[in-house]
């Protein structure tokens, strides 16, 4: 039930997120429904990062509801400038990790209060001790579904950094490999997109999100891979572009396909809210455990030639 009374601060946060295209309508309702207000502490400090930071999850427990724990004591570190990828079956809690890092939710379970177990730190600073605005300035998200505003494509790209100029938008579009597509449209960068304008494909929308993120140039990156598979040529291209964006940034990749994670500095295999394996791709294959099993299953199941096998647990 959506309550009639919604704290103003929460509405403000929602408004910002929607303006930034970070959540879709479905999530909006999930958030409204969650009745959990994330408020800055009175003594919250500004997160100020000169370069890519170290991110630590320390014994993080989390549940959306009181009686149902989703994350059961996760600990891992993303060293400064490195990439950690999370894989695992549907419902394991992968996207929840990203939501906690972005502080859509706070660690712990409803009703648990400040003694909630676990914490997430950025260069040693607890997320709960920093302002949400400064945290969100430091993080760029390439979400599963990029929301486009009913406005020009240029406006949509400039959303990454509204004070940037058209020339910078073009450079970002070039780096995200969407410039040629835009230039070929009769109205170019002024083409209206979104629900009432030109509809873009999943891959094109992700490229817009990548261009936005390139403009924003944040030290931390979250990539929540689209659940629905793109065609394999498109997917390979997007992955190459993301590698470019992620260079020298501290990156968390939520992967739905194993092909995305091969290059990660560390892969975490998540099952029912626990890390059951961790390591690099080659080491995990050699270990012959859960990851190797998933890899083999995908290759045999989807055919050895498939470059983007789906993870078990997905339709
Ligand atoms: P997928 O690969 O399918 O995206 P995932 O590993 O990313 O799955 P999460 O989205 O993190 O999984 O969800 C983990 C669990 O938390 C699921 O059981 C889901 O039903 C539950 N969950 C997710 N969002 C909410 C919410 N807003 N309220 C209550 N439960 C939720």
Q: What is the pLDDT of residue 28?
A: 47
Cα four-point dihedral sign 2, 4, 10, 16:
positive
Identify which of 261, 178, 264 has the alpha carbon closest to the alpha carbon of residue 214: 178
Q: How far is CA 304 from CA 22, 159, 298, 300, in A?
A: 35, 40, 8, 6
Q: How far apart, in Å, do the first and last CA atoms of the chain sit?
A: 29
What integer pLDDT is reported at residue 308 of this predicted model?
Answer: 42
Backbone φ and ψ of 179, nearest 5°: -65, -45
pLDDT under 70: residue ranges of the chain? 1-37, 110-116, 226-232, 300-315
Its sign, for the CA torsion 267, 268, 271, 276, is positive
Give the model's pLDDT for residue 313. Answer: 43
Q: How far apart are CA 120 and CA 2, in angstroms?
A: 29
What pLDDT does 113 receive? Answer: 57
Nearest CA to ligand 1 atom 27: 30
Q: What is the pLDDT of residue 29?
A: 44
Work out whether the CA dihedral 109, 83, 311, 213 comes out positive or negative. Answer: positive
Tokens for 159, please give them: 């959303």
Say how many C-beta atoms besides its own lie within 10 A of residue 4's C-beta: 5
**Ligand 1 atom closest to 34 (CA):** 27
Residues having CB closer than 6 A to ligand 1 are 30, 34, 64-65, 70, 88, 90-96, 227, 256
167 three-state secondary structure: helix
Spatial contact of 172 and 215, defined as CB atoms under 8 Å apart: yes
Ligand 1 nearest atom to the CA of residue 96, by list position: 11
Q: Of 33, 40, 43, nearest to 13 (Cα)?
A: 40
CA 95–ligand 1 middle distance (angstroms): 7
Instruction: Give pLDDT tens digits for 183-195.
Output: 999 999 999 998 8
The reported pLDDT for the residue numbered 306 is: 41
Contact present, 273 and 72 (Cβ < 8 Å): yes
Q: Could you give the CA distance from residue 90 to residue 260 in angstroms, rounded to a whole number?
A: 16
**ipTM reported for the complex surpasses 0.90:** yes
Say what the pLDDT of residue 10 is.
52
So what's the pLDDT on residue 299?
Answer: 73
Spatial separation of the C-alpha atoms in residues 264 and 84, rounded to whole Å: 6
């Amino acid at each position: 039930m959506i309550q009639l009374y919604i704290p103003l601060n929460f509405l403000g946060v929602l408004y910002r997120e929607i303006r930034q295209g970070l959540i879709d309508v479905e999530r909006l309702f999930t958030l409204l429904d969650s009745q959990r207000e994330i408020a800055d502490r009175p003594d919250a400090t500004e997160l100020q990062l000169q370069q890519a930071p170290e991110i630590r999850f320390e014994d993080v427990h989390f549940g959306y509801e009181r009686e149902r724990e989703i994350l059961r004591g996760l600990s891992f570190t993303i060293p400064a400038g490195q990439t950690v990828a999370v894989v695992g079956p549907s419902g394991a809690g992968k996207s929840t990790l990203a939501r906690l890092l972005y502080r859509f939710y706070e660690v712990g379970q409803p009703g648990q209060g400040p003694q909630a177990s676990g914490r997430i730190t950025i260069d040693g600073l607890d997320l709960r001790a920093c302002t949400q605005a400064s945290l969100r300035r430091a993080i760029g998200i390439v979400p599963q579904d990029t929301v486009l505003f009913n406005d020009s494509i240029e406006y949509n790209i400039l959303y990454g950094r509204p004070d940037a100029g058209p020339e910078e938008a073009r450079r970002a579009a070039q780096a995200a490999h969407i410039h040629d597509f835009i230039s070929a449209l009769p109205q170019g960068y002024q083409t209206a997109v979104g629900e009432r304008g030109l509809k873009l494909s999943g891959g094109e929308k992700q490229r817009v999100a990548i261009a936005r993120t390139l403009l924003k140039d944040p030290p931390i990156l979250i990539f929540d891979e689209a659940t629905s598979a793109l065609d394999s040529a498109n997917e390979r291209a997007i992955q190459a572009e993301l590698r470019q964006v992620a260079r020298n940034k501290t990156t968390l990749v939520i992967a739905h396909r194993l092909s995305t994670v091969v290059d990660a500095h560390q892969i975490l295999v998540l099952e029912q809210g626990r890390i059951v394996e961790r390591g690099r791709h080659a080491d995990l294959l050699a270990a012959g455990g859960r990851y190797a099993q998933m890899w083999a299953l995908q290759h045999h199941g989807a055919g050895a030639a498939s470059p983007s096998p789906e993870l078990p647990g997905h339709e």
